[in-house]
């Protein structure tokens, strides 16, 4: 891009220098031609009006008129050439700007396609990572749930066992309850202590 701008400014500078060279040639030629025509016309008009050869004051007036008209014509041509060179430079700038704009639009389209592809790829990767993270979180939650359930079940079993031991220990200290389990025969339940007493 920098090389393009350098080449572009080089082209404009060349064009401006060429325009200035042409302007100087045109100014010089215009000055000389108009000065000669104006001086000669002044001499001819003076000779025609006085009916004699032009004298010193006539030559002086002819030279002054030649310089004035030559200068005016040269300045007019110089301004015209400078304006023409400026217009050509502006046209070149506009043309180059259009080329750069077209190139920029093409590059933006290419970059937008690449960005779109990257966004899709990133989105897929994010969805895959989120799914993997979700599965890992669900697995970890299940493992934690099993651990908590096992711990609570083990604690409940331990508490149940401890309560059974306490009940058994209390039942042993109650008179007449040495055997904690009742014996059942048929429809009536008899305790072991009742059989001993009979």
Q: How confident is the prediction along the chain (198 residues), in pLDDT tens digits per residue?
A: 566 666 767 777 777 777 778 888 888 999 999 999 999 998 888 888 888 877 888 888 889 999 999 999 999 988 888 888 888 878 888 887 788 778 888 888 888 888 888 877 887 777 677 677 767 766 666 676 666 676 776 666 766 776 676 666 666 666 665 554 554 444 444 445 444 444
Determine, yes or no, domain membership for 138.
no
- At 183 the three-state DSSP class reads strand
Number of domains in the chain: 1
Give burial (CB, 10 Å; 0-12/13-18/19+) of 14. exposed
**Does residue 15 sit within a domain?**
yes
Nearest to 100 by CA among 108, 89, 112: 108
Confidence (pLDDT) at 188:
47
Q: Residue 25 belongs to what domain range?
A: 2-133
**Coil vs helix vs strand at 180:** coil
Residue 59 lies in a domain: yes
Helices and strands (DSSP H and E) totals, the chain: 3, 2
Burial of 3: CB neighbours in 10 Å, binned 0-12, 13-18, 19+: exposed
Residue 171 lies in a domain: no
Q: Is 158 inside a domain boundary?
A: no
- Rounded to whole angstroms, the Cα distance separating 167 from 22 reads 125
Rounded Cα–Cα distance for residues 186 and 87 (Å)? 128
User: Does residue 108 lie in a domain region?
Assistant: yes
DSSP-derived 3-state class of residue 198: coil
Report the predicted TM-score, pTM, of the whole model to 2 decimal places: 0.46
Instruction: Decide if 155 is inside a domain.
Output: no
């Amino acid at each position: 891009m920098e090389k393009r701008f350098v080449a572009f400014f080089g082209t404009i500078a060349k064009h401006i220098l060429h325009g200035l060279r042409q302007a100087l040639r045109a100014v010089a030629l215009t000055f000389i031609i108009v000065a000669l025509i104006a001086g000669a016309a002044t001499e001819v008009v003076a000779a025609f009006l006085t009916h004699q050869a032009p004298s010193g004051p006539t030559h002086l007036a002819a030279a002054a008129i030649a310089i004035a008209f030559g200068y005016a014509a040269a300045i007019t041509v110089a301004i015209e050439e400078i304006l023409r060179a400026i217009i050509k430079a502006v046209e070149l700038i506009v043309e180059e700007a259009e080329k750069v704009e077209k190139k920029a639009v093409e590059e933006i389209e290419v970059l937008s396609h690449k960005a779109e592809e990257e966004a899709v790829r990133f989105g897929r990767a994010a969805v895959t990572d989120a799914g993997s993270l979700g599965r890992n979180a669900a697995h970890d939650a299940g493992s934690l749930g099993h651990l908590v359930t096992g711990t609570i079940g083990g604690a409940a079993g331990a508490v149940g066992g401890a309560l059974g031991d306490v009940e058994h220990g209390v039942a042993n200290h109650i008179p007449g309850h040495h055997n904690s389990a009742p014996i059942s025969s048929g429809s009536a339940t008899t305790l072991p202590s009742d059989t001993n007493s009979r």
